[in-house]
Each structure stands twice: as structure tokens, then as C-alpha cells.
Amino acid sequence: MRARILQLLRQNEDGYLSGEAISEKLAISRTAVWKHIRALKEAGYQIEAHPRCGYSLQQAPDKLLPEEIYSRLNASTLGKKIHYFSKVTSTNTEAKKLAESGCQEGTVVLAEEQENGRGRISRGWFSPPGQGIWLSVVLRPALSPYEISKCTLMAAVAVYKAILRVTGIKCGIKWPNDILYQGKKLVGILTELNAEVDAVNYIVIGIGINVNIAAEDFPSEIKSIATSLAVAAGESVSRLELVCAVLEELEKSYQAVLQQGFGEVLTEWRSYSATLGKEVSVIGANESYVGKALDIAEDGALLVQVADKIERVVAGDISIRTI
């Protein structure tokens, strides 16, 4: 309801809209209108109230509030239910709790800040307040558990396309789960699975995007390997516009996978790859080697040529570094 009130106020951004007009359009009482307006003000919206003219939206807060997303998002499933937090330990942790309790598919967890953001192989993810997009999506696909690793590739393709659409910046996807700009990390993706032997209960796809972090604000230990969209673009980027684009592109890719399989996603991934054709160092728990990344297999494994043989590299406790 608050999203619909915001839509009405934005449609009258050059003037005022009376409480009576809002109540008639939305079929709610004027008291309910007043309560929703008060809640929006408490969330950070600057809404001017005039006793004779009504309400006028002056300014929206720079936050990824559900009301802002609902009023802009063009998606049928993803983001229809958003759980928003100022601060969480990890959005994936919160999303898994919701999934266990039976939340609907497409539920999104969004946070302004993560205290303990996580990447692959238990690595941390720098998640400062108000400067990035830290989100997780709950999906319940009718897929084999053996296909779920390809959902990370699917998410990477969707985020790549969303970034290009909003900023015009061309990035590269590093196998299996990072998006890079000029060799530095912009995006990390972490997919977690809950399944039985032959059925998926749910997956959680966590996405962290460095949006408006200044170069000097990255911690010293990652300053040389991380960057942000604002650094790449030379100006700040709308987090709100980007988060809507990510959810819309992810929904398109997900629906295509459910209807047609992963063929198109894998083709797109190859065209956006920053790994294929490069010399890479494969670092595992029991062995390490250097080879040339040739392709990805139909199951999403990376095919690396080492001397006269081809090794299959499966995401897990494996680290890939481009030489």
C-alpha cells in the first residue's frame, strides 16, 4: 500500500495530492492514509503536509527500501516479497532462515550493510553501509541437484546484463562466480543449496555488488584487487535502478532456464567470460596446476588444458587465478 501511495505522490510531484483523493483512489480510509504517510516519514521520506492541499513528496532517502523497489520493479515473481534490513550478519543467512520457514519463491533479502558478508570458500565480503547492493534471493527450482551449480553462472549472466543496461560498463565474468572490471572484482555471487538425493528444496543466491565505494575506502588487503561501479564510471550509480535491473534480468534468465534449460545461459556466459582463453592457475586442497581455460562443459565445469590432457575443474574448494 505504501508503494502505491508513493506512486500517486510521484505522479503529482509538481503539486499536492489530498488525503481524500488518495483514500478514494486506493479505497482506504483517510486515517489509513495518514498512518501510511507517517510510516513513510519515519522511514526517511520527506513529505510535506499542507492542511488544505494535502501531501507532496519532496525527497526520498538514499536507501533500498521495499516501497521504492515495489513501485519500480517490473517482475512477476522475484522481489514481490522483500525483507529489508539496515544491518545483518549476512543476507544469505537470513534468506536461508526464511526458506526453511517456507517463504515463497522469489523472496528477496536486502541489507544496507553486512557485518559478515560471505563469499566462496568461506571468504569474507566487504559490505559497507549504503554503498553497495547486498541481496539474496530464494528460489525453488524443479531441477536436479546436479544442475544447481549452473545457477551461479545464470546469476552472473543476469548481473552482467543489468550492469551493462544501467551503466553501459562492459565487465567480464570470472569462472565461476565473480564479475570483474579491468581485472578487479566488482561482484561476488554465492549459491547455497538445500536438497535431497533427487530433489531441490531451495537454493539461495547471494549477490554482492560494489556500487558507490570510493577507491580509497576499500580495506588495504583488497584495495589492489577490488573496485566499484562508481570508480569505473567516474560518477555515482543509482543503487535503486540497479537492484531493480538485477532482479528483472535474473527473473528472465531463471524463467528461460526452467522452460528451455541452461543452453542459452551457457552461451551467453561464454561470450561474457574473462576466463576462457586465458592461462589460469588452479589451486585446490590436494593439487595445483597451471593450464589454459578452454571452455565450460554442459554441467558448468571449467575445462583446462594442461600439457596434452584436459582437466575438469568443478566449483567448490577450488580457486582459479588468471595469470
**Rounded Cα gap, residues 44 and 86, in angstroms:** 13
Helix (H, G, I), strand (E, B) or coil at 232: helix
What does the DSSP 8-state code read for residue 309? E
Q: What are the b/e assignments for 58-92, b being 16+ CB within 10 Å?
A: eebeebbbbbbbbbbbebebbbebbbbeeebebbb
* pLDDT for position 13: 74
The C-alpha cell of 114 is what?
Answer: 553486512
What proportion of the chain, given as a percentage, has pLDDT over 90?
63
Per-residue pLDDT tens over the stretch 57-100? 887 777 898 988 998 899 999 999 999 999 999 999 999 999 99
**Rounded Cα gap, residues 67 and 159, in angstroms:** 22
Above 80 in pLDDT, residue 123?
Answer: no
**Average pLDDT for residues 214-229, to the nearest whole number?**
93
* pLDDT for position 60: 79
* Angle CA 235–239–240, to nearest 5: 135
285 phi-psi bin (left φ>0, alpha ψ -120 to 50, beta other): alpha
Summary mean pLDDT of the chain: 90
Per-residue pLDDT tens over the stretch 231-251? 999 999 999 999 999 999 999
State the pTM of this model: 0.84
* pLDDT for position 317: 53
Above 90 in pLDDT, residue 212?
Answer: yes
Helix (H, G, I), strand (E, B) or coil at 167: helix
* pLDDT for position 319: 65
Q: Which of 49-53, 237-241, 299-303 has the highest mean pLDDT?
A: 237-241
**Rounded Cα gap, residues 138 and 79, in angstroms:** 10
Per-residue pLDDT tens over the stretch 149-193? 899 999 999 999 999 999 999 999 999 889 999 999 999 999 999
Residues 6 or more apart whose CB falls under 8 angstroms from that of 55 comprise 9, 16, 17, 18, 19, 22, 37, 47, 48, 49
The C-alpha cell of 121 is what?
Answer: 570458500
* pLDDT for position 121: 45
